[in-house]
Structure 1
Amino acid sequence: MLRETNPAVLRKIIPIEVDYNAYDLNIDPQTLDRLHGEVQIVFNVVASVKFNESLNDAIQINFLGTKKIVKLALGIEKLKSFVHVSTLYSNCNRQDIDEKIYDHILSYNELIPVAKVIQHLKDDVNAEQFLFQNLPNTYTLTKHFAEKLVYHQTFFMPSGIFRPGVVISNYKDFPGYTDNVNGPTGVVVWTVRGYIHCIYGDVTKRANLMPVDYCINALIATAWDIHENYQERLRTCSNIPIYNHMFNENNLKWKELMDLVPLGFHEPLQKSIWYYSYFIVSSKIMFKILNFTYHTIPAFIMDILAFMIGKKMIYRRAYAKTEKILIIMSFFGLREWNFGNRNIQMLLEKTKKFSYQRGSFDFDMRKINWTEYFRNFIPGIKRYYFKENAGSVKRIAAYYHWLKRIHVTFKYLAYFLCSRKILNILLAILGRNFVKYCVK
C-alpha cells in the first residue's frame, strides 16, 4: 500500500539483522555505532504472543529479549524516549489494575533460576503455582517480569511502559487491515467460516478490543509524553510512567462483538463450510457437551468422509487443538477487569492543544463507532489477510446465503423435532394421569 501511495517513506526503513539468542544481539559493530549515535526513540515490541508458549521460549523472547533491548538502549547517546510495549493482562491475576507495577513473590532477577528449578521438577503443581501466582500462562507471566525489569533498569532513562488491550484490525486508514488472525480475530474468522460453533466465555464481560491504528497513535503519543515529562520526573524522583490504554466506556462485550460481525457479510469469506452460528457459554460442563456435539462429532464424520475419498484425516486433530485454544482463551473471556487509565486520560487532554494534528493521532476509544468498524472487519480480513479475489464476491455471497438457508432449515427442523419430543412426553404424562383418574 505504501509502495503505491508514498514509496519514499519506505527508504527511511533500515532493517537490521540481529540474533536474539546472542547476549549482545550479534549486531555488527558499524551498525551498532550508528544505532548508538543516531537513534532517538525506541519502541520495544519484541514479544511472543502465544499463550501456550513453553516457559523457556517465553522467557527467552519476552523477558531476555526485553533485557537485551534495554541494554542496547542504555548505550544510545541521543535517546529521547524508550517505550516498552507490554499488555493490559500483565497483572491479570488481580481484578483492579492501575497504572503501576505490582509486586510478585519473586524479583525479576530470580525468574530464570526459579524457572530452571521448576523445569527440572517438571510436573510439580505447587512449584508452578509458586511461580505463576495465578497468572494464567507463560505469556502473561513473562510480560509481568519484563515490566519489572524495565521499571528497575530504565529509571534514569526517558522511559515508560505502554499497556494496550486486545489489538485487532485497522479502523480509519485502510479499514479492516490486519496481518494476523490471532486471538479473538481467529475465533471470529473460524466461526464465520462455520468451523467453530461453541465458545467458552461470558457474554456479559468486556472484551477490551482495540483497533491497531488507535493503538499505534497512543503509542506515538506516549513516546512524546515520556520525553516531555522526563526532566520533571528526574527532579521529583518519580517512577517511570505506565499507560493503560483502555476505557470502560464504549468497551464492547463479547456478545456485542459477535452480534456485530455479520455487518461485514456483504463480502463473506471463501471456503466456508457452514453459516455463522455460535453459542457462548460460561459453564465448562456445557461447553464440553456443546463442543462434543458441534465440533467433535462433525470432525469424526468429516474424517470418515476424507478417508473414503482418499484424503488425510485431519479434522479430529484440528478440533482437539481448537478446543485447547478455546479453553486457554476462556480465562480472558470469563473475566472482567477494572483498568485505571489516569495517564492516558491526561495524555488525551495534553494532545488537545495539537488540534491541527488531532485527527492523525486520535486514540480515544470512547469515540469509536463499532457499527462502522465491523462493516469493514470481515471484508478487511478477506482482502488483506487472505488476499481473496474481490471479483468473486457475488458468487461467494450467493454461496454463503445458500449456507444460511441450510442452517435456518436445520435449526427449525431441530426446533420442531425437540418440540414434538417434548409434546409426546407431556402427552404421555398427561395420559397416565388421565388413566389413573379414570381408574379411581
Structure 2
Amino acid sequence: MASLHPTVSEYYTDKNVFITGATGFIGKVLLEKLLRSCPNVGNLYLLVRPKKSQDCHQRITEISQSPVFDKVRAENPNFHKKLIPIHGDITEDALGISEENVELLENQVHIVFHSAATIRFDEPLRVAMEMNVLGVRKMIQLCSNFKKLEVFVHVSTAYANCDRPFIEEMVYQPSVEPQKLIDALDWLDDEMLDQITSKLIGDKPNTYTFTKQLAEHLLIKEGANLPLAILRPSIVGASWKEPFPGWIDNFNGPSGLYVAAGKGILRYMNCDAMGVADIIPVDIPVNMMITMAWYTAVYKPSTVPIFHSTSGSVNPFTWGEIENVVMNFWKKVPLDSCFRRPKAPIAKSGFLLDYYIFVSHMIPAYFADLGYCMLGKRPRMVKIYNKLHRAMGTLTFFTTHSWEWTYNNLDMLKSKLSPEDRRLFYFDPRGLHWPTYLEAYCLGAKKYLLNEDLSGLPAAKAHLRNLRNLRYIFNTVVIVALWRVLVARSDIARNLWMFIIGLVTKFVKFFRLTSAVRR
C-alpha cells in the first residue's frame, strides 16, 4: 500500500507553500531544506514585515544571500525566484496583508507552515497573547478561505505543558479559556495585567509556555475545519547534519551560554547536573515539519496529529555531561580574545551559587570596567553580566527540571516513509551522538556566530596560556599577601614559613645537583 502514495519530494511537486516566521532560525532551515530536497516545489510565499530601513523584498534578498543557502545556490543559482515576500505582520488586523495578496494566497496555497511567534520567555503577557494566541486566530481566519489548502502545520513547543512531568501527544485543557483572557485584555490596563500575570500562568514558568498552550487549545477549537497538524520541538539548537553540521545564526537558548562560557565570561551555571538537557538540532524538527505535512495531506488522519520533537526520553544527555564536553572543547579550540580562561562548573541555586556569581562574575566585571575607564574606554562588563544573568534566569526552570514525552506519532510517521525518505528527511534523535554534535555546535558558534577563523587558533591558544599565567601569578600574590597580613604576625607562623622556604631551597639545590651529575 505504501507504494500507492507519493514520496515526500513527489508530493511537494508544484505545491505552493505559505510560511510565517520564515526569517527566523527554524524558518530559514525550513526554506533551505524544501528548496534543496524538494526541488520541484512551487512558490514559497513568505509573510515578512519591514524592519528598520528594509522593506520585505530587501529582507528576503538579504536572507537569500545567507550562507545557509550555499548548497542550494550551487545547485540552483535562481532559487530566490521561488521566494515570494508577502508584506504583513502577525500583530496587525488581518495580518496586515493587502487584499490583492490575500486573493493570491487564497487561490494558490496548498500548504501552510505557521512558526511565527515571540520566543522571549519574559515577554509581557499582552504582547505574548497578541503574537502567540491572537496571531493563531488570524491565521485560522485567513487560511479558512484557502481554496486548495491540504495541510496547516502549527509549530508549538514541547514546553506548552511543562507543568506536567509526563506529556502525551494530546492537547490539554488550559487553566484559562483563551477567549475569556482575550476579552479581559480589552479592559485590563498593563499595570493590572502585570499584577495578575503570575496567578494566571500558575505553575508555568513564563508567558511563552502559557500562551503556547492557549494557542494549541484555540487552534483545535476554532480551526476544526482545517487539516491541522501540531509540532512540539524542545530547545532548538544548532544543526546536526544539514545544511552544515553546527550551523547556527542566533544566541538564543544554549548557544549564548556556550559562547559566554567559551569566552570565560560565564563562570557558573545554574543547572541540575543530573538533569536531562532536552536540546534538539534544528534540522530534526524541520524534517519532521516537512514529513508530517506530507502525512497529514496524504493520509488525512481523523484526529489532529501531534508530534514531539524532543530527545530527552529516547536519547538522554545531562547538563553535567554537556558541561564536560563543551569545556574540554573550548580548551582545545579556544575562542579569540577570551576575557578569562573557560570554566563554567554547574552549581545549584542558593547561597553558594549567589556567592560564586558575586565573586566570579561581578567583582571581575567591576574591576574590568574600572580598567576600561582608566584607559578612556567605555565600561561594558557589568552591563554584559547583567544581561547574562537575566538570560540565565529565564532558562533556570528548564535547566533544573526534566520531562518525559511520548513518541507514538514519531514512530508511526517513520513507519509510513520509504527507506529513502527516512534517509533524506531524518527526524529520529535516537542516532544522535552527543559529544560529536556538541563539538560541531561549538565550532559552528565560533564560525557562524562570532565569525572567527581557525587560522587565528594559535594566537587564541597563546592568549589562553597568558591568561593561565596571569591567574597563577595573581593567586600566588594573593596567598603571600594573606599569609603576611593574617598569619605571619606570630612566631610559630614565621618559623613555619622559614621552614617551608628552606625545604623549597633544598629541593631546588638537589634538583640542580642531580641534573649536573646526569650530564
> Is 1:369–2:438 an aligned residue pair?
no
Residue among 227, 232, 239 paired with 1:170: 239
- State the aligned residue count: 414
Number of the residue aligned with 1:143: 212
Distance 1:375 1:318, change over 3 A: closer
* 8 A contact 1:274–1:407 mirrored in 2: no
Question: CA offset at residue 156 of structure 1?
Answer: 2.1
Percent of matched pairs sharing the same residue: 30
Query: What amino acid is the match of 1:10?
Result: H
The separation in 2 between residues aligned to 1:264 and 1:156, in whole angstroms, is 52
C-alpha separation between the residues in 1 aligned to 2:163 and 2:361? 31
Equivalent-residue separation in structure 2 for 1:141 and 1:417 (angstroms): 54
Deviation at 1:8, TM superposition (A): 3.0
Please say if 1:387 is aligned against 2:387: no
Q: Which AA in structure 1 matches 2:117?
A: A
Counterparts in 2 of 1:93 and 1:35: CA distance versus 1, 3 Å: same
Equivalent residue number for residue 269 of structure 1: 335
Does the Cα contact within 8 Å between 1:268 and 1:378 map onto a contact in 2? Answer: no
Q: 2:163 aligned with 1:93, yes or no?
A: yes
Question: Is 2:399 the partner of 1:333?
Answer: yes
Paired with 1:118 and 1:128, the residues of 2 have a C-alpha distance of 12
286, 300, 315: which is aligned to 1:250?
Answer: 315
- Contact 1:200–1:326 (Cα < 8 Å) also in 2: yes
Q: Identify the structure with bigger relative contact order (alpha carbons < 8 Å, sequence gap 6+).
A: 1
Deviation at 1:348, TM superposition (A): 1.9
Q: Look up the SS of the partner of 1:56 in the other structure.
A: helix
What letter corresponds to residue 192 of structure 2 in structure 1? L
Please give the residue correspondences for 1:202-213 in structure 2 after superposition, counting only pairs within 5 Å.
202-213=272-283
1:40-81 per-position Cα deviation (integer Å, ceiling 9, x unaligned): 111100011111112222122222222222222211111111
Q: More deviation in 260-269 or 71-80?
A: 260-269
Query: Aligned-pair distance for 1:83?
Result: 0.6
Query: Contact 2:284/2:309 (CA < 8 Å) preserved in 1?
Result: no
TM-score of the superposed pair, with normalisation by structure 2: 0.74
SS at match of 1:160: strand
1:294 aligns with 2:343: no
The match for 2:256 is: 186
Aligned mates of 2:95, 2:370 — CA distance in 1: 50
- Matched AA of 2:387: K
Residue of structure 1 equivalent to 2:102: 32
Please state how far the C-alpha of 1:92 moved relative to its aligned partner. 0.9
Distance between the aligned counterparts of 1:318 and 1:288, measured in 2? 17
Per-residue deviation, 1:265: 5.4
Letter in 2 for 1:75: N
Distance apart, 1:401 and its partner CA: 4.6
Closer, same or farther: CA 30–266 of 1 in aligned 2, 3 Å: farther
**For residues 183 and 290 of structure 1, what CA distance do their matches in structure 2 show?**
22
SS at match of 2:383: helix
Deviation of the 1:271 alpha carbon: 2.9
Following superposition, the deviation at residue 409 of structure 1 comes to 7.5
Distance 1:66 1:411 in 2: 57
* Gapped regions of structure 1 (runs ≥ 5): 429-440
Shift of 1:410: 6.8
Q: Is the 2:257–2:266 contact (alpha carbons within 8 Å) kept by the matching residues of 1?
A: yes
Amino acid in structure 2 at the alignment position of 1:290: Y
| Alignment match of 1:134 (pick from 203, 207, 218) | 203
8 A Cα contact 2:410 2:428, kept in partner: no
Cα deviation digits, residues 138-188 of structure 1 (max 9, x gap): 111111111111111222211011000111111113111111011111111
Residues 193 and 272 in structure 1, CA contact (< 8 A), matched pair in contact too: yes
| Whole-angstrom distance in 1 between the partners of 2:428 and 2:317 | 14
Amino acid at match of 1:117: L
Whether the 8 Å CA contact 2:262–2:330 is kept in 1: the answer is: no
Matched, 1:119 2:119: no
Task: Measure how far apart 1:405 and its partner are.
Answer: 5.6
Question: Is 1:157 the equivalent of 2:223?
Answer: no
2:133 to 39, 49, 63: 63
Root-mean-square deviation (CA, aligned residues, Å) is: 2.8
AA at the equivalent of 1:181: F
* Corresponding letter in the other structure for 1:209: I
Conserved in 2, the CA contact under 8 Å of 1:92 and 1:135? yes
Encode CA deviations 1:5-62: one digit per residue, 9 max, x unaligned.
Answer: 4323322111211133321122222222221111111110001111111222212222
Q: How far apart are residue 88 of structure 1 and its match?
A: 0.6
Secondary structure class of the residue paired with 1:15: strand
Q: Name the CA distance, whole Å, in 1 between partners of 2:75 and 2:473.
A: 47
For 2:82, what is the secondary structure of its paired residue?
coil
Structure-1 separation of matches of 2:203 and 2:174: 11
Show the counterpart of 1:434: none
Distance 1:181 1:110 in 2: 35
- For the Cα contact (< 8 Å) 1:267–1:378, is it kept in 2? no
Larger Rg: 2
**Is structure 2 residue 173 aligned with structure 1 residue 103?**
yes
